[in-house]
Structure 1
Amino acid sequence: MALPLLSYNPNCPNTRVEGFEVNGDEQPRIFTSENLLGVTEMNDLIEAAYRQIFFHAFKWDRDATLESQVRNGQITVRDFIRALLLSPTFYNSFYEKNSNYRFVEQVVQRVLGRDVYSEREKIAWSIVVATKGIKGFVDELLNSSEYLENFGYDTVPYQRRRYLASRESGETPFNIKSPRYDGYHRRQLGFPQIVWQNEVRRFVPQEKKVKEGDPTGFLNMARGIGSAKGAPTPRVSAMNISLDSVPYRKK
């Protein structure tokens, strides 16, 4: 028996309040198939969907069948988003590399276009993942009133209310704030690596660099030879010699 969705209260007003700012270059570009699109516009829409879900899709990650279906109108943009979320690429790259809590956070960001409201919402959706699986979790998000009211069947999800008129700078994009791999898996994969430089290098202009064959280049070596000292002869005391180490002929 599946557990009901745990109730949670929205505590982030940015995505719930209608914006009155004038659209400009800082506003997100909306990709939708509500109007009849040409080949170029449909290509941009498909690329936007890949970028929203995968951040970057390699040739191996792309699905030519799904792209053909969405081009011909056989499936909606919402169906295309659902197929990408249930694809092996998303499963291997996001679900297997993270805990359920982090996986929920990443999917909510990509599907609903906002951060999770609170830890309670994260726990609520994690219970859905544990009881209904990834397919049930994705279906509940795509069938939610929040998704249908903001994106519907024909619009690619995007980060909502990233820029506010009262702020000097917008929120960090989701793909930078929530990378694909968790901290544990980033350490396992060896990145990011911090390279510490033991020697402090100074910039020397080209005209001041010592050329090959210049006698000044051997000055430090000559000084090192002149000041070199031989290894001191170790002093051995008879009181420090162990008789067990002295070779002798046994009778």
Structure 2
Amino acid sequence: MAIPLLKYSPVTQNSRVEGYEIPGDDQPKIYSTQNILSSTDINDLIEAAYRQIFFHAFKADRERFLESQLRSNQITVRDFVRGLLLSNTYRRAFYGMNSNYRYVEQTVQRALGRDVFGKEETLAWSIIVATKGDEGFIDAILDSDEYLDNFGDDILPYQRRRVLPTRSEGELPFNIKSPRYDEYYRSILGFPKPVAQSSVRRFTPQEQKPKAGSPALFMDMVRGLNSLQQAVPSQRVSAVGVNFTSGVPYRKVSFPINDPVAAAAVEKVKQGA
């Protein structure tokens, strides 16, 4: 016998507070199949669905069969979202790498567009995961009155009331607030890796970067030469007190005194001179 969903009291959150909002760049874009006019619009909806559920989908993570069914109007957006939440990628990255509590928090954020109300809701949904499995949990989320009232069959889930007009800073995106992997698995996988940076890097636009042959590329070399000349000052030598005679190499020939042949040759040279 399956345990029914426990009752929990919803706390006041941004998604439950109605207010007057002026449309702007900070407001989330609502994707729906009701206003699709071309194939580009359906492609944008599919990409937005991958960002909402996976945050980023590689080529191997894409569900081509579900995409084809959605393009041909064989399934609704709610069915497409259900397929992504029950895909191998979501099960491996979210259900397999996290506890039931964290899995419930991430699924509620991505499917209902809000944070969990508290520990009571997390506990209630985790019991559904433990008794009915992840497939029963996903069906209960997508068949709930909250999902149908806010998104229905045609609207893609989005983060509701992320930016409030009365606050200078809105809520963080779900992918930053609740990353895909838990802290335990992030330590095993070895990320995030700290990067030690001793120097401050400045961003230079592409059009302002010096090209090949530009004199700006040789400024560092010129500055190095100037600093070298300042470190080793040049010495000036006067030619007045220089003895050039002593500077010329001269080889003296000495012979043993006991050698009569050498003595006679030296004496003959002296007489000839």
Q: 1:195: how far off?
A: 4.3
The TM-score, its normalising length taken from structure 2, stands at 0.73
Shift of 1:13: 3.1
What are the superposed Cα offsets for residues 220-246 of structure 1, whole Å, 9 maximum, x if unpaired?
A: xxxxxxxxxxxxxxxxxxxxxxxxxxx
Give 3-state SS (helix, strand or coil) of 2:34's partner: coil
How far off is 1:208 after superposition? 4.7
**What is the rounded CA distance, in whole Å, between the counterparts of 1:28 and 1:36 in structure 2?**
17
Deviations 1:166-198 (A, max 9, x none): 10111000011100011111111111122457x
What is the match of residue 50 of structure 1? 50
Partners of 1:57 and 1:25 lie apart in 2 by 24
> What are the equivalent positions in structure 2 for 1:68-107 lying under 5 Å apart?
68-107=68-107
Structure 1, unaligned runs of 5 or more: 218-251
The alignment-based identity, stated in percent, is 59
Q: Whole-Å Cα distance in 2 between the matches of residues 160 and 60 of structure 1?
A: 29
> Which residue pairs with 1:191 in the alignment?
191
Q: Structure 1 159/201 Cα, relative in aligned 2: closer, same or farther at 3 Å?
A: closer
Indicate the RMSD between aligned Cα atoms, in angstroms: 2.2
Per-residue CA deviations over 1:24-57 (Å, capped at 9, x if unaligned) read 1111000000234310000000111111000011
The correspondence of residues 22-33 of structure 1 with structure 2, limited to 5 A, is 22-33=22-33
CA shift for structure 1 position 19: 2.5
Q: Which structure 2 residue ranges, 5 or more long, are not aligned?
A: 202-218, 233-273
Higher relative contact order (CA 8 A, sep 6+): 1
| 2:112 counterpart residue number | 112
Aligned residues: 212
**What are the within-5 Å matches in structure 2 for residues 152-163 of structure 1?**
152-163=152-163
Residue matched to 1:18: 18
* Structure 1 length-normalised TM: 0.79
Partner SS, residue 5 of structure 1: coil
Distance 2:79 2:13 in 1: 29
Paired residue type of 1:61 = D
Task: Could you list the structure 1 runs, at least 4 aligned residues long, displaced by more than 6 angstroms after superposition.
Answer: 200-203
Alpha-carbon distance, 1:99 to partner: 0.6
Corresponding position: 1:179 with 2:179: yes
